[in-house]
Amino acid sequence: MPLWKWLLLNVYYHASKPARWWIHRKLAAQRRIPIAVLYYHRIADDRATDWTMPNRTFIDQMCWLRRNFELISMEDVQRRLRSGVNDRPAVHITFDDGYADNCQTAIPWLVKERIPCTYFVAVQNILECRPFDHDLKCGVNLAPNSPEEIRAMADAGIEIGAHTYSHADLGKVTDTAVLHQELVVARQELQLAIGRPIRYFSFPFGMHANLSCQAFALAAQCGYEGVCSAYGGYNYPGDDPFHLHRLPAVCEILRLKNWLTADPRKIHTRRFEYRWNEDRIELPRDDARNEEAFHAVSP
């Protein structure tokens, strides 16, 4: 990071401390302290892409988070949102895509330290050992996780989630057959691959333009218990527990501190609005008959 940018971040962080303190005090009095959900992609020391974070930086961030926040599971995030009460600053850790390098240091460290994590994978890349298109466009060929690695993570207590079938931009998809493949088939095949229910889904790219009301409706219809966007913002007790808002994890710890300590810039993040009933999709008849394909797989 350039020195001038680091200095500006420092100035902003310290100048906005009174506002942060006041916001936190107000929300704490209401027992509505917001919950942050962070997303990472790839943890490795080669800095191959902008979405790669060094191992030491990742572990340092986790240690800082553990000192200052309660690190909770996705299920616990939803429980607190439903209850309308949260008395303590809390964070949940997620990963998107599914990179093999995460299994070298980051995931084993999280398992060892018993830090809850949800790990979202693009199913086709995992099952076919196919590199991600966004990496290839940058001129790098990075290995995705193997099915065996995903199963091992699930067995170790990591919550595995779906990140579509082909890492598609669902904001551009209007064909119901394609949506079915990206959400329903992805969930079915991932459940079969790991032998466990898939409860959560995250949208690739995750900005407002990459979401759709149809995708939200289909995710609920086919049995997902929650979906994640990635356009920023906090989750407040009393919010909709089905749609979880996430913040990007960045290498600069000062920027992360800005975002996670009631940053006034994040308080009023515009929410994506979706409707439950108008956007229901007619499921293929075979899937509509087979509830087990949506809702459960024997462990």
Split at pLDDT 50, 70, 90, the class of 286 is low
Range of the domain at 167: 3-295
Predicted TM-score of the model (pTM): 0.91
Spell 257-273 as b/e; 16+ CB within 10 A means b: bbbbbbbeebeeeeebe
pLDDT at 99: 98
- For the chain, the domain total comes to 1
More confident residue, 252 or 296: 252
pLDDT at 285: 54
pLDDT at 280: 60
User: The domain spanning residue 135 has which CATH number?
Assistant: 3.20.20.370
Spell 232-247 as b/e; 16+ CB within 10 A means b: bbbbbbebebbbbbbb
Question: What mean pLDDT is predicted for residues 60-67?
Answer: 97
pLDDT at 281: 60
Cβ contacts of 108 within 8 Å, gap of 6 or more: none
pLDDT digits (tens, 9 = 90+) for 191-228: 999 999 999 999 999 999 999 999 999 999 999 999 99
- Phi first, then psi: what are they for 227, rounded to 5°? -130, 150
pLDDT digits (tens, 9 = 90+) for 9-59: 888 888 888 888 888 899 999 999 999 999 999 999 999 999 999 999 999
pLDDT for 88 beyond 80: yes
Q: What angle do CA 124, 150, 78 make, to 5 degrees?
A: 95
pLDDT digits (tens, 9 = 90+) for 266-281: 888 999 988 765 556 6
pLDDT at 275: 74
